[in-house]
A and B are shown apart, each in its own frame.
Chain A
């Protein structure tokens, strides 16, 4: 297999360093970075072969239980890349950046989001959580700041005063969420990845990502559930 045998060059290392420090990198940025690294380190640049480039890095990351993973945004389906730790048994990446009490707030927020119908938790509900933390009570003002920090670091994203998991969080913690929230976490019926925000069939309860729904119903005259064939009740903006 030609890819497995491929050597790491300084271009690969530079790409990996930047990906790690970005946290999450959007698809077009990653392509530009690929070109920049090849040019900087004078390595042959194979245009449009980003996936091969990444596979080379991944073959060397595998023995370290790490991986550059691609995930799609639940909002618009665009590709994003993040370096994930496959051996994670808890939110270890965040552990170095936040205090014990902040992590507890995050975990409880994540609970709310995953359990919710639409994948969002209102800021009111989250601020009420702050009051009930086991580690130490957190004042509302402080919780607001902490939430802001989570959004800045791209663990959460905010829309109209409601919070959901950022694409970065989903890519990095998908395994953790699927194993720790087995009964509650939903998987998209189309792409089979974790679905935090999803549209749900009223009859049979299956869920799908919004971008996956759009793609599935494109060019179809009748919108019917792929599983139970009942009319699909949700609107697709």
Chain B
């Protein structure tokens, strides 16, 4: 049973789809429902010991889980477990922007920022393809970004924040160090972000 659950989780995680507890119960555990929490615990232990992945609950109300990479991240390899290095690079830039701007940005501000990087919502990008879809759908679905509607706006505007996967897979400190490196400055240059990053460890 543990091995079946481990494989189920690995397959779901391949697509970075968050896993609902209901799916785990339905698909795998069937006759063993009473032993559910023990099976999940063992599956987590196996994932950590063999794959260096950890099962983390990101929504305790609706019982939703993701697998995060437990392996120490060498310099400059943030969030990169797979070959989608370019997408992760773009994501890191977006997360940095959001953090530096006080943890929340309006969608119009985000797109203005991406304009500077020659990334446009309306245009197919040579590496990222449909960028609007990537940012507003894929990154949100994978829980890297969270988007909420800003009330009383017409036409509706949205704000972007870090999603639970981003919170678990990277840290404000890592992101600030990235920004500092890009701009050849010391992280302490941004006093309020620096103290927030230190407090957040």
Binding site for B on A (CB under 8 A): 8, 10, 13-14, 16-17, 20-22, 40-41, 57, 60-61, 63-66, 85, 87, 92-93, 95-97
Residue B79 lies at the interface, judged by CB distance under 8 Å to chain A: no
A60 touches B50 (CB 8 A): yes
A21 touches B83 (CB 8 A): yes
- Tell me the dominant secondary structure on chain A's binding face: helix
A10 touches B81 (CB 8 A): no
Q: How far is the CB of A176 from chain B (nearest CB, A)?
A: 15
Q: How far is the CB of A56 from chain B (nearest CB, A)?
A: 11
CA distance A92 to B12 in the complex (A): 12
- Which residues does chain B contribute within 8 Å of A65, judged by CB atoms? 3, 7
A96 touches B52 (CB 8 A): no
B72 touches A41 (CB 8 A): yes
In the complex, residue of chain B having the shortest beta-carbon distance to the beta carbon of A40: B74
- Which residues does chain A contribute within 8 Å of B12, judged by CB atoms? 96
CA distance A22 to B82 in the complex (A): 7
In the complex, residue of chain B having the shortest beta-carbon distance to the beta carbon of A65: B3
CA distance A57 to B50 in the complex (A): 8
Could you list 26 examples of A-B contacts with CB < 8 Å? Answer: A8-B50, A10-B52, A10-B72, A13-B50, A13-B52, A13-B71, A16-B51, A17-B51, A17-B52, A17-B53, A20-B14, A21-B14, A21-B81, A21-B83, A41-B71, A57-B50, A61-B50, A63-B3, A64-B3, A64-B7, A64-B46, A85-B7, A87-B7, A95-B11, A96-B14, A97-B15
Among A10, A17, A57, A93, max chain B CB count under 10 A is at A17
Q: How far is the CB of B44 from chain A (nearest CB, A)?
A: 14
Among B10, B12, B46, max chain A CB count under 10 A is at B10
Those of B172-189 within 8 Å (CB) of chain A: none
CA distance A57 to B49 in the complex (A): 11
- Which residues does chain B contribute within 8 Å of A57, judged by CB atoms? 50
B81 touches A66 (CB 8 A): no
CA distance A16 to B11 in the complex (A): 15
- Which residues does chain A contribute within 8 Å of B52, judged by CB atoms? 10, 13-14, 16-17
B74 touches A17 (CB 8 A): no
B7 touches A66 (CB 8 A): yes
- Which residues does chain A contribute within 8 Å of B14, judged by CB atoms? 20-21, 96-97
- Which residues does chain B contribute within 8 Å of A16, judged by CB atoms? 50-52
Those of B3-23 within 8 Å (CB) of chain A: 3, 6-7, 10-12, 14-15
CA distance A65 to B53 in the complex (A): 18
In the complex, residue of chain A having the shortest beta-carbon distance to the beta carbon of B84: A21
Those of B29-88 within 8 Å (CB) of chain A: 46, 49-53, 69-72, 74, 81-83
In the complex, residue of chain B having the shortest beta-carbon distance to the beta carbon of A57: B50
CA distance A234 to B105 in the complex (A): 67
CA distance A96 to B46 in the complex (A): 22
Given A8-B50, A13-B71, A96 contacting B81 (CB threshold 8 A)? no
